[in-house]
Amino acid sequence: MTTERSLVLIKPDGFQRGLTGEVLRRIEAKGYTLGALAIVTPTRELLAKHYAEHEGKPFYEPLLEFMSSGPVTAAVIEGQDCIKGFRSLAGATNPTDAAPGTIRGDFGRDWGTQVQQNIVHGSDSPDSASREIGIWFPEL
């Protein structure tokens, strides 16, 4: 098991629905710690850096529009294998496919093709975690 850090975002839909506390509770209940926490309304510039690998894809512009539509809770979580562990806690990307007991399974809504409105984001690898944490928390 590896102690690592991951970026977690509670997206505008989760923030608007008052789910920040519940998501953070589940993260801490899983045994992970919070290394940094901020509430921000992200700029397009920040989001363009974060989602750079998706530029040019059909969902890129709608994703940036959605993610800049309101406040986001950004957190750095720390713990053993927290990248894999949080992604399991989050559930499948599409809320319709997410298992009950996961964040998306319990709180996600069927958004049709708008899968980006799925409550949370979690880094998918140590490299992406490092890159994403540097974007959202450059002071770390």
- Known binding-site residues for ATP equal 11, 59, 87, 93, 104, 118
Residue stretches of the annotated binding site: 11, 59, 87, 93, 104, 118
The average confidence (pLDDT) of the chain is 94
Copy the structure tokens of residue 100: 């009950």
CATH code for the domain defined by 3-112+122-136 = 3.30.70.141
Has 121 been annotated as catalytic?
yes
Considering the candidates 5, 26, 50, 121, report the single residue annotated as catalytic.
Answer: 121
* Cβ pair 123, 129 in contact under 8 A: yes
* pTM of the entire predicted model: 0.94
For 14-43, how does the pLDDT look when each residue is reduced to its tens digit (9 = 90+)? Answer: 999 999 999 999 999 999 999 999 999 999
Tokens of 78: 């720390």
The per-residue pLDDT for range 58-99, each reduced to its tens digit, is 989 999 999 999 999 999 999 999 999 999 999 998 888 999
Burial class (CB in 10 A: 0-12, 13-18, 19+), 108: buried
- How high is the pLDDT of residue 44? 96
Report pLDDT for 117: 86
Q: Which residues contact 105 (CB under 8 A, 6 or more apart)?
A: 91, 92, 95, 98, 99
Domain residues of the chain, as ranges? 3-112+122-136
- Residue 116 has a pLDDT of 75
